[in-house]
Chains A and B, each alone.
Chain A
Amino acid sequence: MIKPPCFCLFAVLALFPTIASGQSFDTDIRPFLTRYCVSCHGPAKQKADLRLDKLDPDMIKGSDTDMWQEVLDRINVSEMPPKDASPQPKRSERQVIVDALTASLRQAMEAKRSTGGRNVLRRLTAYEYNNTLRDLLGLDLQYATDLPPEGTAQEGFKNNSSVLGTSALHLEYFERIARAALEKILLTPEEQPVPYFVRVEPELAFGVEPESPTNTRPSKKRNPKKNSPTTGYGIKGEHYRPGSNARAPLFQLVNGELSGDAILLAGNRPEDKIGDPFAEDRKIGGAGGDGRSGYQPEFRVEMYEVPHDVPVLVRIQVSAIPGKGDTWPRLSFELGSFRGAGVSDQKEAANIEISSTESEVYEFVAHGANFPFQSNKPSRPSYFRIFNDFRRGTSQLSYDELPKLKIDWVEITSNHYETWPTPQRRAILFDSISRDDESIYAGEVLASFMMRAYRRPVTPDEVDRKVALFQKLRGQETTFEATMISTLTAVLCSSHFLLLSEPADKAVDAESAIERRRLNDYELASRLSYFLWSSMPDSTLFELASAGKLHQPSVLLAQVERMISDPQSKGFSRNFASQWLDLAGIRRLAVNPEYFDFKETTKDQFEEESIQFVHHVMTENLSITTFVDSDFAVVNPDLARHYRIPDISGGFQIHSLNKEHHRGGLMTQASMLFGNSTGAESHPIKRGVWVLERLLDDPPPPPPPNVPDLPEPEEKDEATLSLKERLVEHARVESCRDCHSKIDPWGVPFENYNALGQWREGTSDPLVKTAHQRVTVDPSTQLRNGKIILNLDDLKHYILTDKKPQFRRAIVRKVMAYSLGRYLEFSDRTAVESICEILENDGDSFQTLLKQIVLSEPFLSK
């Protein structure tokens, strides 16, 4: 039996990337050059001034690496040896040298970026900086929006030290952001600002006499309001002092029902059709483009001159009227403002299921600064609006069968401060017996703040230095608070705050190698929290570090479990999933309107689905094989409609799947399928590259220069060919075939999914507009090693059997690289292999993976 020898070599080198350059040069590269190249590029002739026999064979340390890249590119596209030269190399010979050069050059690239397998200090990423300020200051605002956008390392991670540069512009913004945040907290008036208060009781607001005040569940059918809004005035807060010109708030009930003394909101308006569950039954777009604005029943409070850049308290007393099939309403409300006639901005502030038929009071606090809550003209109101976000979705519930949200009353308080001064201010300027002695008190304030900002104990010297700064500035500032703002701004511009540095205890000689050492407990606390939360450690982690216990394996494991079950672990799911799966790809592509009617906001759902999926796998401790295939999906009604999954209503939830839904795992999610399409057609090459890069960690070599990344139709009749057919044509070209035989077969099995990731089969795709419906769907292909793959199910099965060790290693490597904030290197191999082994014996559970990474030598050491 003849195996393609080159392929084995390639695989071996990819797995054990080191050494071997010399050997493979002698066996796989030099013979080819001698036989086919040096007669023109050697001692006798030097065409193009090139002597291949003089090139340094050491591609890692030598100085001819680029020339080797050039040599590879020319051989790769069959430009060299020239067509008219003889002898001509056999295809297999060409393959041997191409694979050997590719592998050697990859090693050279890895060597080039090597940090010796050690962590290098890195700046906080913009999102980590945002979360850290949020947790440090106890104020949840969007801090990082103006920072320069972050780059992305080669394998997709943004927290890789090598792409996290610091520039003057960064520092300018870090100072500005810190100062603005501190001013917001510390430059507050003596007196608590007067709250803006609105309370609405439906019977007062709309002047409707309750039919039977004691009847808490009046007829659902009574008086469904259609499109004419009901307007009324409710109870005004005390900020409407006599003589105040403040305009009273306006209450609007649209498409809702008034029932006795309550408002009833259904998730869908009464007249929505229920016949075709997959048809869009609401206006697309609407004020917010969110698909529900305009027609969905809503209750709205429009407020004029409401304080907007302050905390807002919303209290709502509601109960549920369950719908058919044990369905329950979802309370969702938004804060927003009108930008112009009929144009508004809004953002959802809460979305929870209400599953009690008894009235209960729900309280929410949001900061107005995080919402488009500021109206741009006095005559335009800011508003609060509340929906029942239970969607009929792809179920066929009639209006009467839908669960309803029953609202007894709503209270909105802007300028909401439970205590004054605010807790954020008191956390910085706490009570102290030394409060009257400014310089002593300044030292206390700084010591406490710096410890949390620097994520470790601070030395008296460090505090003294900042006290000296405080005193220096005190003369030019008018107040203690103003001086403290400037001094704390310095803390927030400090290298100890902005950089994760893990320095030695004392001065070291930079030239001599620093000994590898175990992290101390505080450094460990930061690694843990930036890994699992994308933010600073919390008080529990600090306490364990302070007690010197954190590094104990049992303590570490318990902390990992605690951190996973904490809502902050969404930081991991969101950032790791986005970077690993390249969810940004969704935003890079536009959907071609000649092919699809598409609601742009559905892209948000694509992204959210993958993040929620990863989060679910983590929190439920599922197997990593779930990433390849699962018997459930995390979808909401919008996605269910997109995927044609019937009987899905409610919100974003876990739903079990049947085979005929053709969903399961990451590879059937629209984020991947759409993100790797052309926006009009499927794209087997991109999808194949995605599988190789993201799931198998075996990125194909980059295409040689001057090769189009998409096969263009060369002949006239090719224009009518499908992409897959064009691929086949493309692969007939010898120079393309070798590379593409490694890539394309991994993307062809996805042919059953159109550009938007919707299922199709046979010879037409009815989900595409009529002109483009003709396709030939053929998901069968043959991998380079001869393995026949019939369709995606087959490919999934193949990955989970033959390719399982490679898949497992890939996931381990991805999570580990993310946890360390650097590229993995040869020296990490032992750790990776031993984690793989433990995982295999432990059902491949995701939490085991996270725990084993935390216990691994690379994670624990500097």
Chain B
Amino acid sequence: MHNKSWHLDRRTVLKSTGVCLALPWLECMATDKQAAPKQRFFAGYFAYGVPMPADDAPDRMDHGWFPLGEGRDYQAPAMHQNIMPLREQITFLSGLSHPSMRGTSAHKGADYFLTGANILKTYDKQSISIDQHLAQSLGKDTRFQSLVMSSFGGVNRPYRSSTLSFDRSGRPIPAQNKPAEIFRRMFGAVTESEKNALASRRSILDDVLSEANDLNRRLGSSDRKKMDEYLTSVREVERMTARSVQWQNTPKPNVDPAGLELASNPTTPREYLTVMYDLLALALQTDTTRVATFQTACEEAGLTDQFPSAIGLRNSSHNLSHEKKNYADVASYITFLNEMYADFLKKLDSVQDGDGTLLDNTLCFYGCATSKTHLAVNYPIILSGGRNMGFKHGSHLRYSNDVPLSNLFHTFANQLAGPTEKFSDSTSDITEVVGS
């Protein structure tokens, strides 16, 4: 008989997500397949940097982001209070950044946060993001290869990206921002119409692809560049279709939407971020996907710039980030974001998964591509989870400002996707985050 210990305990599920999983059916409960350890990756992003009062300032521990002290004996400022119960499962990193973009003017962070590409001059060198790189191997056995989310949705435009994820050709992958649609794609009942659609989709795609190839031959070079997006997308949908066919006889996880505010949108930030994080937790927990990204806000004027209204602040998050003296407001705003994120980690931590918790099997990378007031060095980063993939936590690791963040991504790739030569502009890997 199979060892039951890693099977999901229904009660754990119920109390942990605050969301009902109505039926006991979950893929990991039902299957008797070889229980290969599941490796998961999440990357999250917040906008506009963090407050950085000087080390000797009286409000250093009240309003700062970065911990005081290094190694295991660091002191975390007040804004991290909510995450500190997980102290042994998180690592603060400081000093890291992407070298090619250190001289950038602000607001482009989401474009290169996970790619490390040099897009300072042109966008041509945009390259694959770490999540998509990992998804090539981690994403093979799930219904969706990855889940790309942002509060803004879509891709917006170059240098004001509203997605963190970029494909092999460096093309942005549109982010989903509507909770109801995210829920439908992952957990919605498969309708008759969708079954029909799947049966004929491959023939349809063959047809439109060969038609598009004919059209492509009649186009000049700049048209072909644009046409390439269409052609690549069709091929990508073909791959997705093949995957869907594999999965068509496996029922989707039965998740009761009752506890989820699927109708919420960024005008009510607290409700919106809660449901988005809940959907992420559910996606990972039900093994619908093992790779996910979430850009909580776009560095562009828009609804997400009003997120501080969640805690009663009238200032936009952009304006808050420019505060140079009185950090109280911006600190309470970042505290709010940190709380939302900490709640997400705690959810993952409370779900049994294999020989550990869901958090142990999910490497979570969270941060921003600027430190104080749009300075593109010394990214504020919290790494957590992934213990079953060899990551160890409990410290504040301080690096000098010339260490490439891609070195950390290189380590991610080594641990999750197997030995890797390099990722983006990495010069080495970062060994301090792994070990037992």
Contacts and interface: CB of A to CB of B under 8 A. Distances in A.
Interface of A: 63, 65-66, 69-70, 73, 112, 115-116, 118, 120-123, 146, 148-154, 161-163, 165-172, 175-176, 179-180, 183, 462, 465-466, 469, 472-473, 476-477, 482, 485-486, 489-490, 493-496, 498-499, 501, 503-508, 510-511, 513-514, 585, 587-590, 592, 594, 679-680, 702, 704-706, 708-710, 712
B223 A588 contact: no
Given A146-B181, A148-B154, A168-B233, A161 B226 contact: yes
B103 A66 contact: yes
A503 B240 contact: no
Contacts of B314: 590, 592, 594, 679-680
Contacts of A589: 306
B220 interface: yes
B236 interface: yes
B176 interface: yes
Given A63-B121, A170-B233, A706-B373, A501 B219 contact: yes
B196 A165 contact: no
A175 B197 contact: yes
B4 interface: no
A168 to B, nearest CB: 4
B200 A473 contact: yes
B233 A477 contact: no
B226 A120 contact: yes
Contact of B174 (A169, A499, A704): A169
B120 A66 contact: yes
Given A466-B207, A705-B374, 7 more contacts: A120-B222, A121-B227, A151-B162, A169-B176, A465-B210, A469-B203, A489-B200
Interface string B205-220: 0011011100101111
B233 A166 contact: yes
Contacts of B245: none
B219 A148 contact: no
Given A168-B236, A169-B176, A510 B224 contact: yes
A588 B203 contact: no
Contacts of A165: 155, 171-172, 174, 229
B136 interface: no
B105 A73 contact: yes
A503 B309 contact: no
Contact of A121 (B219, B309, B322): B219
Interface of B: 103-106, 120-122, 152-157, 160, 162, 171-178, 181, 193, 196-197, 199-201, 203-204, 207-208, 210-212, 215, 217-227, 229-230, 233-234, 236-237, 240, 301-303, 305-306, 309, 314, 318-319, 322-324, 373-375
Nearest to A679: B314
A151 B218 contact: no
B217 A166 contact: no
A118 B222 contact: yes
A56 B212 CA distance: 42
B229 to A, nearest CB: 5
| 3 cross-chain pairs, A with B, having the tightest CB-CB distances, nearest first | A514-B220, A168-B236, A503-B218
A66 B101 CA distance: 10
B197 A493 contact: no
B374 A706 contact: yes
A476 B204 CA distance: 13
Given A122-B226, A165-B171, A171-B234, A588 B303 contact: yes
A167 B173 contact: yes
Given A469-B203, A705-B374, A712-B324, A494 B222 contact: no
A501 B225 CA distance: 12
A228 to B, nearest CB: 34
A148 B218 contact: no
B108 to A, nearest CB: 10
Contacts of A163: 157
A430 B86 CA distance: 67
Nearest to B178: A146
Contact of A508 (B122, B176, B196, B218): B218
A121 B218 contact: no
Contacts of A679: 314
B215 A495 contact: yes
A289 B226 CA distance: 44
B267 to A, nearest CB: 9
Contact of B322 (A476, A588, A702, A709): A709
A496 B303 contact: no
Contacts of A151: 154-157, 160, 162
A794 to B, nearest CB: 29
Given A167-B229, A171-B234, A172-B237, A503 B200 contact: no
A287 B244 CA distance: 43
Contact of A587 (B152, B211, B227, B303): B303
Given A163-B157, A180-B193, A149 B219 contact: no
Nearest to B223: A121
Contacts of A592: 314
Contacts of A63: 121
Contact of B196 (A171, A482, A493, A501): A482
B208 A495 contact: yes
B220 A493 contact: no
Given A588-B303, A594-B314, A510 B156 contact: no
B208 A153 contact: no
Given A148-B176, A180-B193, A588 B302 contact: yes
A174 to B, nearest CB: 10
